[in-house]
Copies of this chain bind each other. A is one copy, B any other.
Amino acid sequence: MSALPLPPLLDHHCHGVLRTDPTAERFASFLTESDAPPAPGTTFFDTQAGFAVRRWCPPLLGLEPHCPPDAYLARRRELGAAETTRRLLAGSGIGGLLVDTGIPGDLLGPAELAAAAGPGTTAREILRLERLAEHTADRTDDTRAFLDGLAGAVEDGAGTAAGFKSVLAYRHGLDIDPAPPGPAEVRAAAGRWLAGRSPGGRLTDPVLLRHLLWSAVRTGRPLQLHTGFGDPDLTLHHCDPLLLTGFVRATAPTGCPLVLLHCYPYHRQAGYLAHAFPHVHLDMGLALTHTGARATAVLGEMLELAPFGKLLFSTDAYGLPELYVVGAELFRRGLRHVLGAWVAEGVWAAADAQRVAAMIAADNARRVYGPESFG
């Protein structure tokens, strides 16, 4: 069953990678969600993500698995950022990317990522709603012009992007009034926000955050929602996906696909929502990368309540091309181990296991986002 065949993976949630070679310190900072230096006497390499990078990436750069961080970084510098990225992306076994372009910085964009990954790999954009609003606000402080501009940006995005993403979790927490705010309420909130906003100011107003969610839902394009763990900017118990239950109920009649990202340690709670509501889907990314050798166990927990047609592979890779490799390897390895054991014990049929593996690896993403999102 180690030979469980898998198609090229479709990565429905990822980010750009650094254009230039990072220092050792900056490299290590991408191995954690922490925004602080490591504790005195420790290093971010001594984490599951750090060990996973050292296990899976060195061979793609011509080194032995588990080689020391210094040797790995030296080899990386020797090859240069472009060649390193090319080797790692091409070796990841990923055939399609949906790239959240909402993080600023000198990162490769979707087309560059696809080019680096090599022939046959496609890339499309996922639009981060809060950035869309902030970019619009950067161009005008007139309420009507802002709201018209935002509506146009969402409408345009629905035509060009594979879907939308919300970071409500970071900006407010998930415990929101589920109903769409009325036009007058939105105008008043926009007026207040624009009047008090400094250039580059972040959107945290709950009325406008809800307006963004509902604007996206009305387009019918899939809407990704950050839930569960992330950087210390969020408060984890305010990111339990169950706090979205009211929003899930309110959006059910629209049929707009909701994709719950990350979810850990609330992935069983997210699985329940995917079980109970037809339009809810469950992402497997990030949790696998940051749990490393434990990813197989965590992946098993994701295969409980969620129907098999609702589970979506992703890497949530960001900054380092290594995180594409690690996310893909841990996923393939975990899925083969878990499903393989069930086939070996006779509780699943081999043909079912292959079918489910293909669904989670690629078919579900193609169905949810549309084949054009990977074409």
Contact = CB atoms under 8 A, between A and B. Distances in A.
Contacts of A309: 38-39, 41-43, 46
Interface stretch (A15-23, A131-139, A343-351): A343-351
A36 B278 contact: yes
A275 B229 CA distance: 10
A294 B300 contact: yes
Contacts of A236: 242, 245, 269, 272-273
A42 B310 contact: yes
A366 to B, nearest CB: 10
Contacts of A298: 304
Contact of A293 (B33, B44, B246, B348): B348
Contact of A276 (B231, B291, B308): B231
Contact of A307 (B42, B229, B276): B42
A237 B243 contact: yes
A278 B231 CA distance: 13
Interface residues of A, number: 70
This chain: copies in complex: 3
A344 to B, nearest CB: 11
Interface in A253-292: 264-265, 268-269, 272-273, 275-279, 290-292
Nearest to A32: B275
Contact of A36 (B48, B242, B277): B277
A55 interface: yes
B51 A352 contact: yes
A240 to B, nearest CB: 7
A229 B305 contact: yes
A41 B255 CA distance: 13
A307 B245 contact: no
Q: Which of A54, A55, A240 has the most CB of B within 10 A?
A: A55
A203 interface: no
Contacts of A37: 278
Contacts of A276: 33-34, 231-232
A202 interface: no
Contacts of A40: 278
Nearest to A267: B265
Most interface-central of A229, A301, A347 (chain B CB within 10 A): A347
Given A47-B275, A231-B276, A265-B272, 6 more contacts: A37-B278, A38-B307, A39-B310, A43-B309, A52-B347, A264-B268
17 contacts: A34-B277, A36-B277, A36-B278, A42-B307, A42-B310, A43-B309, A46-B309, A55-B348, A66-B349, A229-B272, A229-B305, A232-B276, A235-B245, A235-B246, A236-B245, A237-B243, A293-B342
In the A-B complex, the 3 residue pairs with the closest CB atoms: A42-B309, A66-B349, A265-B268
